[in-house]
Structure 1
Amino acid sequence: MGAVLAVAATPAPDTVARSVSVQNNDPLIHFHGRWDPAPETWWGSTGFKLHVQDLSSLTLNLGNHTTSPTVQLGVSVNYGPFNTVNVSAGTNEIPLIVSSDETDDAKLPATSVVRINVPGWQDNRLELENIVLNPGAKLLPYTPSDIHFQFIGDSLSAGGQYLPQIVDQAWTFLTPENFKAEHLINAQPGIALSDIDAYGNVHGMSYQYFVTEDTQYYYTDYHNYTTPWNFARDQPPATHVVIHIGANDSGNNPSLTRPQTYLEFLSRLRTLYHTQPFFIFTPWGWPQPDGSISYYYPGQYETIVATRHALGDRNTFLVNTTGWVTLEDVFPGNMHPTVDGHIKIAGLFQEWLENWGLHPLSAWATPA
């Protein structure tokens, strides 16, 4: 019997399509807000945007420094409403909801824009390891809007502790959505402008704004320090700066020299934003059951703006919010705006901006 000739088997072609892994330093991820080098998030509304061709699934792999047991995300697909998704350290598949109807399973278009942010002012740490897309997907450049708002404030700008979707339902978030604009929001409940300890914030905004971390760093065992923020990372740079702050200065130390503190803050901001308009909100106050409204620092915001004008800065503007908020617009127990109250404030500010000369864009810069 002759020898059997062994024939080597020809390897079968690799027919298994592979998922697309996007590393956390990929230049096509459009980061916004304040990320440390890990990268991990600080400040509510920090997040990223993805422009993807042939998208059908998206998974986030998150590191152990992600808030435990979960961190709340806001997720918007193709500029639709932001939906709440809770994620944790490890692998997280992100639902790609294309309308407000959670049963909607409509097919995504050829290219999609996914916007993801952390809306909370605390428990808001997201450690991004990598992003996994479906086989055949391709990450594309994201083109940001020509309008880029920077908001600076306290709980009245952060959504406070009271809105289900936190900053994603605040006027500071709704305004840029209405304008089809980018945004940065540096707002923290309880924070004063003066660098004082106020309601658990160990620093005031006059310090905290210029560092990467929000005031929760103080309570973070593995990151209980601050690092200077590199404002060159804010891309594109802010085109309009909006400031609404002072309630917690008044609540902690009414004798503080309010105009001087604010003027020094504006002078420092001008070293970063040389020509951008500054919009200085007056307090809308605390509505009372008898119909009256209690205001803090009456007349001082007008003095601040007048002083900037006297110094030659004609690009600082007073936004007089008197009458914008009534008792019907706030939670009666804490006098912070409700969801509908924030919608009202965003609408009134949009009206103010349009009268000033800024109008909503007709379309988002990156089409979906």
Structure 2
Amino acid sequence: MNAVMKVANAILLVLMAMVQSQCTKTMNELKTEQLADLSRQVTVAAISSANGDLTDTNIKYFGRWDFSSSTRYISRWGGAYLKVRFTGTTVKIKLGNRSNYYVKIDNGPWLSYYGVTGTVNLTPTPLASGTHTLSVAQGKDYDYIFNFQGLVLDPGATTAAPPVGNDLVEWIGDSITAGYTNSQAEVSDYAWVCSEAMGTEHTQIAYPGICLVSGFTTNPGMDVGYFKLQSPNNTASPPWDFTRYTAKLVVINLGTNDNNKKVPATTFQSTMTTFLANVRAKYPGAEIFVMQCLKNGIMSTPTKAAVKARQTAGDGKVIYINTTNWVTSADYNPDGLHPSNDGHKKIANLLNPILSPYLSSATPFYLDRCDATTGWASSNVLSINTADKKEGSGALQSTGSSSDEFKKVFTTPIRTGASAATGSIQFWYYVSDVSRLSSSNQIEVGSGGGANVKEYNWKIGTLVNGWNLITKPISAAGITNGTPDLNAINWIRIYHAKTGSVTTRIDGLRIIP
């Protein structure tokens, strides 16, 4: 039991004793010196528990950590890191294994500590007195063990919780995502650089040489390894507990090693399709991005087919990223396969505008906020519901049994700035009774001013009673009578055939670039 809990229990026992003895004194009559002494004990206990050891809850951990030991916390995936604030002028870290570590203090650069273990002084030149922010990451090609045993602070110094990003991005990949051959491993790879630029926390579930498909290398493929606490070279690893954190975005970059190991395209496609479904089961609300392999579009055909299969199955939050011509030979290390530090920065800069609109901090671009019926038409009774909405002042509501629920011609075409390759349409869709919906349905967005002219269209997909968040990648849309101009959108319609009267609503209709 830690010191704070002991003092809290002591206070509780005092209060219980007062009640049991039917003490007639009120709390205000309790001796001032007793309360003051208890207060001092709580303060001292709180300070002593914020001293940088393994019980210190101010230290925040990112990655897949094993907290089962009371003497060391261990991660066996590269790119695991911790963050904390501390007072004083010096800080040391206690490490239980020899490896490469990367340290950032305040707004300084990442400093490398190669091949260190034991108690490592992170401030050989003392800092100015005050409060500082510390981040420590680990990564060494094929050797991903971060054995953390606590911090050593100045006498009397304490810790505090550090700033933490609102969202977390999980990156799944092979040696490229692991920063293989980079000067600072994960800290200098595209996944880390992109996440830091977006202000998100991040995990890198990546390992050099790994395939997606198991059975073609000594270690399991990512189809098995991703779901483990430890990296695939730890074949006896227990499963990972996915309740420990939730990813806002998942980015997958796999296929390079499958190609090198001659995995058949059909096998890769079916395995990727299943893998995407399994990742979705772990993160029901995440946007899942699947990158085309950076080198020569390797495995692009089966990768796109797997993404399309998931979209067809109703998962509109799986998005394919076309990386054609993102990097050239000048962006690679001498091996011609792994990007250089500058190559990783280039990839990160190209990913940033694709991923950023899906973060919690993004400012949505609305085609229509659905707060008024102005300009909208319906074959049913159309109204605004101000009591049950998802954003703004209301939600557009249709009640009746006709197919046409919502349609609008925009008198001024809308410039969305979206890309057909990476953009999506997203909105909230409410259904009162899904059992009365028939299979004939569609979402239509176009620049032809009406139905079936320069139109993107999608099936709505699987629904539940109540609100559903609908996300449809533009790359997955059908196209009718000409490709729409995403910078001149002037038409939208949502229809759904019915077997009886149904109430539907839409809200927050937006385009994500």
Instruction: Flag whether TM exceeds 0.5 (same fold).
Output: yes
Structure 1 match to 2:91: 58
**TM-score calculated relative to the size of structure 2:** 0.57
CA RMSD of aligned residues (A): 2.5
Structure 2 match to 1:350: 352
Q: Does 2:120 correspond to 1:120? A: no
SS of 2:176's equivalent in the other structure is helix
- Counting only pairs closer than 5 Å after superposition, residues 256-295 of structure 1 correspond to structure 2 as 256=265, 257-285=267-295, 294-295=296-297
Q: 1:207 aligns with which of 215, 218, 224?
A: 224
Q: 2:251 aligns with which of 227, 242, 259?
A: 242
What's the offset of the Cα at 1:296?
2.1
Q: 1:185 aligns with which of 184, 200, 204?
A: 204
**C-alpha distance in 1, partners of 2:255/2:270?**
12
Flag the 1:325–1:72 CA change in 2: closer, same or farther, 3 A: same
Structure 2 match to 1:84: 112
CA contact (8 A) 1:263 1:304 kept: yes
> Which amino acid in the other structure matches residue 262 of structure 1?
M
CA contact (8 A) 2:64 2:76 kept: yes
What's the offset of the Cα at 1:96?
7.4
SS of 1:248's equivalent in the other structure is helix
Q: Does 2:307 correspond to 1:340? A: no
**C-alpha distance in 1, partners of 2:149/2:168?**
27
- Counting only pairs closer than 5 Å after superposition, residues 129-140 of structure 1 correspond to structure 2 as 129-140=149-160
Q: Does 2:76 correspond to 1:42? A: yes
**C-alpha distance in 1, partners of 2:255/2:105?**
36
CA contact (8 A) 1:19 1:136 kept: no
**C-alpha distance in 2, partners of 1:90/1:298?**
45
Structure 1 match to 2:16: none
Gaps of 5+ in 1: 1-17, 98-104, 219-224, 286-293, 363-368
**C-alpha distance in 2, partners of 1:279/1:19?**
41
Q: 2:128 aligns with which of 82, 87, 107?
A: 107
**C-alpha distance in 1, partners of 2:202/2:196?**
9
CA contact (8 A) 1:20 1:136 kept: no
What's the offset of the Cα at 1:118?
0.5
Q: Does 2:159 correspond to 1:148? A: no
Q: 1:228 aligns with which of 239, 261, 284?
A: 239
SS of 2:80's equivalent in the other structure is strand
CA contact (8 A) 2:100 2:114 kept: yes
Which has the larger displacement, 73-82 or 337-346?
73-82
> Which amino acid in the other structure matches residue 237 of structure 2?
T
**C-alpha distance in 2, partners of 1:19/1:187?**
34
Render the CA deviation track for 1:72-106: whole Å, top value 9, x for unaligned. Answer: 11111124321112364432211378xxxxxxx76
Render the CA deviation track for 1:295-330: whole Å, top value 9, x for unaligned. Answer: 322322222222111111111111110010111111
What's the offset of the Cα at 1:228?
1.1
CA contact (8 A) 2:51 2:157 kept: no
CA contact (8 A) 1:173 1:183 kept: yes
> Which amino acid in the other structure matches residue 341 of structure 1?
G
Structure 1 match to 2:54: 24
**C-alpha distance in 2, partners of 1:252/1:146?**
39
Which has the larger displacement, 22-31 or 183-192?
22-31
**C-alpha distance in 1, partners of 2:244/2:62?**
9
- Counting only pairs closer than 5 Å after superposition, residues 284-363 of structure 1 correspond to structure 2 as 284-285=294-295, 294-354=296-356, 356=357, 358=359
Render the CA deviation track for 1:176-204: whole Å, top value 9, x for unaligned. Answer: 11011100001111000111242xx5111
CA contact (8 A) 1:73 1:85 kept: yes
In our comparison, the structure showing a higher alpha carbon Rg is 2
What's the offset of the Cα at 1:339?
0.8
Flag the 1:357–1:214 CA change in 2: closer, same or farther, 3 A: closer
Gaps of 5+ in 2: 1-47, 364-513
CA contact (8 A) 1:353 1:359 kept: no
Render the CA deviation track for 1:15-43: whole Å, top value 9, x for unaligned. Answer: xxx99843223222111112223422211
> Which amino acid in the other structure matches residue 102 of structure 2?
G
Would you say how many aligned residue pairs link Structure 1 and Structure 2? 311
Q: Which has the higher relative contact order, 1 or 2, with Cα contacts under 8 A spaced 6 or more apart?
A: 1
